[in-house]
Amino acid sequence: MAQKQEKIAGSCYCQAVRYSARLPTRFVAHCHCDNCRRAQGAGIVTYAGFLDELFEIEAGAEFISDYTSDTGSTRRFCAVCGTTILFQGPRWPGEVHLLVANLAGELDRAPGAHVYADRAPAWCPIHDDLPRLGGTSGVDPL
C-alpha cells in the first residue's frame, strides 16, 4: 500500500489566495540573487521547490497576477496584498518554487544551501556553514 503524501498549506498575507503542495520537496535553499532580493525587498529569500503537479491553488485564483522578467522567469503574486506566491523559471521546467515564509507547517527538510551566495550584499552576510553556491548559474560550487 502506497504511503500518503503530506500536504503543506500556504497563503498570501491577506489570505485571499490559498494553496497547498504535496511533499516531498525537491530542495529548500536560500537565494541571494539580485532579482529575488529586489522582488521581495529582503536580503535573502528562502524557497522550497516542488514538482508542478504537486502544487495546487485551493482558493483565490482570480486574485493572482503574474510578472514575467526579462530572464523569462515568472513571479505570481496576490493582486490584493502584493504577496509573492511563487517563482517559476525556464531553467527549472516542471518546478514551482514557493516562498517558505508563506507556508504553514513543517517541510520535509531544512535549507541545504545558499544559491547565488557570491551576490550576497555586505549588509546581509552569510553566517552559517551551509554550502555556498554561485557563479553564472547560481549553483556552481564556490
The residue whose grid cell reads 529582503 is 42
pLDDT at 5 over 90: no
Does any domain span residue 134? Answer: no
Q: How confident is the model at residue 13 (pLDDT cuts 50, 70, 90)?
A: very high
User: Given this model, what pLDDT does residue 96 score?
Assistant: 98
Q: Which amino acid is at 60?
A: G
- Residue 23 is assigned to a structural domain of this protein: yes
Q: How much is the mean pLDDT over the chain? A: 95
In-domain check, residue 14: yes
Does residue 135 form part of some domain?
no
**Structural domain for 116, as ranges:** 7-121
pLDDT band for position 1 (50/70/90)? Answer: very low
Kindly state whether residue 92 falls inside one of the protein's structural domains. yes
Please give the order of strands across the beta sheet that includes 7-11.
55-59, 18-22, 7-11, 103-104
Give tens-digit pLDDT for 30-77.
999 999 999 999 999 999 999 999 999 999 999 999 999 998 999 999
Domain assignment present for residue 89? The answer is yes
The domain tally of the chain equals 1
Asked if the model's pLDDT at residue 4 lies above 60, the reply is: no
With respect to residue 127, please indicate whether it lies within any of the assigned structural domains: no
Three-state SS for 82?
Answer: coil
CATH number, position 22: 2.170.150.70
Q: CA-CA distances (angstroms) from residue 96 to 56, 76, 118, 127, 128?
A: 10, 10, 24, 27, 26
In-domain check, residue 109: yes
> Residue 17 class from Cβ within 10 Å (0-12 exposed, 13-18 middle, 19+ buried)?
buried
